[in-house]
Amino acid sequence: MEEKKFNDFGLGEKSESNGYRAVNKDGSFNILKTNIPFFEKLNFFHNLVTMSWLNFFGYILLGYFVINFSFAAIYMSIGVDHLTGTSGTTGIDQFSEAFFFSAQTITTLGYGRVAPLGLATNIVAAIESMLGLLSFALATGLLYGRFSKSPTKIKYSDIGVIAPYQNINGFMIRVVNPQNNELLEVNADLSVSFRKEGSQHREFHNLKLERNMVFFFPSVWTIVHPIDEKSPLYKMTEKEFEKRKVEFIVMLKAFDASSSQTLYSRSSYKADEIIWGAKFTYLGQHKNGKLHIDVSGLNSYDQSGLQ
């Protein structure tokens, strides 16, 4: 009995509704998991490392304020008379002194004017100082995790083109690294999915490329899939692309020499993002002995007839 071969890339074979795409333009998967128990989906480290810098520092400041506010309330409940050197007469003044004493204790700074007095207050101060050491160690680890991520962001053309290629046609997209860091051994993988004929399921194919790797990536790379007799796109028309909901998924893998990390990047192209009978325009221009690349023209193309 012939073994059934599954080739859905983990994205599911079931056909989707109009407008759905498996991979968003920014490379994220367009999948939302629901009905997961709250504690099973919690991942504080991932959320804190991947969120924006503004949100990250917002959470850090909020946590710092909440901790000091809580310990100030504890000191107030014990009694400010157990904190030597306080001079506040009103409740607000006493609470502010307890709050700033907490801030000094949690950072192990301790200016010395206010000090704990009595067993209960000293126990609370000792617990807070240990909590401070652990908290700042955690914050340092999170900062390192954020800074250690490669900041490289490969830029993809917003469109793909079906262009003449060596007496046939080819599907082409362009990619560029807009930053000055060196990317080495850049590997490309291009796949396509579309609805099966007379079926509500999709089929997936890895596409053969003109070249799937470049050793250096200082310029623009046009990734080309020749649409020959062996291509699953052979003889497919523009109308069939729309009818069968074609989606191309491209993934790049590269070694970032600056961070010594392996970088992964993804994007996708739907049928309405593909220009037929067009060629990408050349972006290079030689000036003063150097090749200048106009990255702003990444999506520029010339309209031409198919061969």
Would you list the domain boundaries of the chain? Answer: 39-148, 155-303
Class of 39-148 in CATH: mainly alpha
- Between the alpha carbon of residue 10 and those of residues 106, 108, 266, the distances in Å are 47, 50, 15
**What is the structure's pLDDT at 208?**
93
Alpha-carbon distances, residue 99 vs 48, 157, 278 (angstroms)? 26, 53, 67
Q: How confident is the model at residue 150 (pLDDT cuts 50, 70, 90)?
A: confident
- Give the confidence band of 307 by pLDDT, cuts at 50, 70, 90: very low
Q: Which of 86-90, 188-192, 264-268 has the lowest mean pLDDT?
A: 86-90
198-252 confidence digits (pLDDT tens): 777 788 899 999 999 999 888 889 999 999 999 999 888 889 898 888 999 999 9
pTM over 0.75: no
Tokens of 24: 């968003």
Q: Measure the CA–CA gap between 98 and 94, rounded to whole angstroms.
A: 6
What string of H, E and C letters represents the secondary structure of 104-130?
HHHCCCCCCCCEECCHHHHHHHHHHHH
What does the pLDDT look like over 78-111, one tens digit per residue? 988 888 877 777 888 889 988 988 998 888 887 7
Helix (H, G, I), strand (E, B) or coil at 237: coil
Size (the chain), residues = 307
4-22 tens-digit pLDDT: 444 566 665 555 555 567 7
Predicted local distance difference test score (pLDDT) of residue 83 = 84
The mean pLDDT of the chain is 84
- pLDDT for residue 116 is more than 70: yes
Phi, psi at 300, each rounded to 5°: -75, 140
What is residue 43's predicted lDDT score, i.e. its pLDDT? Answer: 77
Q: 79: which residues sit within 8 A by CB, 6+ positions away?
A: none
pLDDT of 121 higher than 70: yes
For 212, other C-beta atoms within 10 Å of its C-beta total 13
1 pLDDT tier (thresholds 50, 70, 90): very low
d(CA 225, CA 207): 7
Helix (DSSP H) and strand (DSSP E) numbers for the chain: 6, 16
Longest alpha-carbon distance in the chain: 91
CATH of domain 155-303: 2.60.40.1400
